[in-house]
């Protein structure tokens, strides 16, 4: 389903099976000079419903499994340049900077108490640029304790995939 003309929003399946609008971080897609957003990330091999996941932190690369191989240790779980997706079908890419130089938000971007994350299949590093591939968006019920410093991990319970293209395999019910 394509979403056009609705800045800062992406359509996905809600936990109830209804359609929801998920707010994204960063500039509005389609606004002047802005064509990307920012997201937290988990590995596709870690995206099992009801499992504990780390979407931000110093140990992200150790705590997340990716089908495309291990992530670089300098990736801490925040993608600061995610091009607008348009819909939930296909494979998408993101780029970011190492560590907390990716400028994660000071507090979690929640919608109804849920943080939405990219489900990555591979992440690599070339010079100071980290690049990743993702196939899905997931919902995480966050634990307390997140801070923008990688020493204060962002963790929570993975509830399921919103696009059902990968990761947990199906929309949560």
Pick from 94, 159, 107, 163: which is nearest to 133 by CA?
94
Percent of the chain surpassing pLDDT 90: 60
Contacts of 16 (CB under 8 A, 6+ apart): none
pTM: 0.77
- For residue 135, give Cα distances in angstroms to 86, 146, 148, 150: 13, 25, 25, 25
Please give the pLDDT value at position 25.
44
Mean pLDDT of 94-105: 89
The domain spans of the chain are: 9-161
Predicted confidence (pLDDT) at residue 2 exceeds the cutoff of 50 = no
Please give the pLDDT value at position 165.
60
Query: pLDDT per residue over 24-75, tens digit each?
Result: 444 333 333 445 689 999 999 999 999 999 999 999 999 999 999 999 999 9
């Amino acid at each position: 389903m394509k979403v056009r003309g609705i800045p800062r929003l992406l359509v996905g399946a809600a936990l109830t099976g209804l359609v929801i609008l998920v707010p994204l971080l960063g500039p509005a897609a389609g606004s002047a000079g802005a064509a990307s957003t920012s997201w937290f990330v988990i590995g596709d091999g870690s995206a099992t419903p009801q499992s504990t996941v780390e979407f931000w932190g110093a140990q992200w690369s150790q705590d997340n499994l990716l089908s495309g191989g291990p992530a670089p240790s300098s990736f801490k779980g925040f993608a600061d340049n995610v091009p607008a997706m348009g819909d939930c079908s296909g494979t998408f890419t993101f780029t970011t900077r190492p560590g907390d130089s990716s400028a994660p938000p000071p507090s979690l971007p929640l919608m109804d108490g849920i943080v939405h994350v990219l489900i990555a299949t591979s992440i690599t590093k070339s010079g100071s640029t980290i690049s990743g591939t993702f196939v899905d968006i997931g919902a995480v019920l966050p634990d307390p304790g997140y801070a923008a410093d990688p020493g204060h991990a962002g963790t929570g319970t993975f509830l399921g995939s919103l696009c059902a293209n990968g990761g947990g395999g199906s929309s949560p019910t």
